[in-house]
Amino acid sequence: MRIGIAFDLYSEYLKMGYDELQAAEFDSEETIESIETNLRRLGHETERIGNARQLMQALGDGKRWDLVFNICEGLHGFGREALVPSVLDSWEIPYTFSDPLALSLSLHKGVAKRILRDLRIATPDFAIVENEEDLDHIRMPFPLFAKPVAEGSSKGIEPENVVRTWNGLARACRRLLKQFQQPVLVERYLPGREFTVGILGTGADAECVGGMEIVLKNGAEPGIYSYRNKQEWEQLVEYRPISDELLGVCGGIALPAWRGLGCRDAGRVDLRQDEYGAMQLMEVNPLAGLNEVRSDLSILCRMRGIEYPELIERIMKSALKRIR
């Protein structure tokens, strides 16, 4: 097949004047090279497309592909991850990973949690703060945790986000509202162990293929998988494989969420235990990072014997079922 690869290149956005935090979710040349190499190993012809604007330019120039391997995160708005799939839908070009609806729902963590709650999936109590007046309506007990409602890669996650007083909550929300220009998700802070699990497949074919515990080392910012901890993971974080029994517990929550939100092909689900040890779902990530070495999905798959070439192959097999 002729496969186009759509992506946001980290170095390009730095050259355009965006800072490291704004470009944190974007991909390295190394990641694109790994994806392209493994698609060619599967016998496909590849073409690098680039970001959403470059995709639209290419379509306008008459270029077409049998399928697009899409890892574009986008930059602005709650529909930023849905932009490339929406454009491809309009041209009737199939693509990997989730459709515009699933990507938009999952990106807005508040909307996603409303759906998860309706599906009776355990997730921490929460409130959405769009302005300072919304703080007056929060009735949850402390401690609480505040974060941007639609960011990934732990952007905006700092130790000060764990708040234990009204003044601390107000300070955290004011800072996040100003910095990210989007609502803030405030939820009950979960003090227990943190896990992330990988899912491959779509609908009834989806399976929880592996998981790992995120353990913070000495010197890490305590209690949270913060932006600094994630960026300096080799020094500050230990990833531990989890038992089959614990993977089953995580999968029993993650898979219904994955299917309920309509996610496809591959992604990650993050979970954490509350003060009683009960597992709670934190986030669903249907467009997980795919760096061969350092992305969480690649790491946890490798722990279960799924090497990177097999991961790319299984993503493609899932996507190709929609064509054939």
Q: What is the largest CA-CA distance in the chain?
A: 59
* Alpha helix stretches (DSSP H) within 146-243: 166-180, 227-231, 233-236
Q: Is the pLDDT of residue 260 over 90?
A: yes
What is the model's pLDDT at position 230? 84
pLDDT band at 30 (very low <50, low <70, confident <90, very high): very high
- Cα end-to-end span (Å), the chain: 13
Say yes or no: domain 2-95 is CATH 3.40.50: yes
pTM for the model: 0.93
Of the candidates 185, 211, 178, which has an alpha carbon nearest to the alpha carbon of residue 301? 211
For helices 29-41 and 308-320, give the axis angle rounded to 10 degrees: 70
Residue 238 banded pLDDT, cuts 50, 70, 90: very high
In tens, the pLDDT along 264-313 reads 999 999 999 999 999 999 999 999 999 999 999 999 999 999 999 999 99
**What's domain 191-320's architecture?**
2-Layer Sandwich (3.30)
> For residue 77, how far is the Cα from the chain centroid?
16
> For residue range 164-194, what is the model confidence (pLDDT) as tens digits?
999 999 999 999 999 999 999 999 999 999 9
Work out the pLDDT band at 23, boundaries 50, 70, 90.
Answer: confident
**pLDDT over threshold 90, residue 231:** no
> What tokens appear for 169 in the block?
């909550």
> Average pLDDT, stretch 5-17?
94
Dump pLDDT digits (tens) for 242-252.
Answer: 999 999 999 99
- State which fold the 125-188 domain adopts: Dna Ligase; domain 1 (3.30.1490)
How far out from the chain centre does Cα 26 lie? 12
Confidence grade of residue 234 (pLDDT, cut at 50, 70, 90)? confident
Residue ranges covered by each domain of the chain: 2-95, 125-188, 191-320
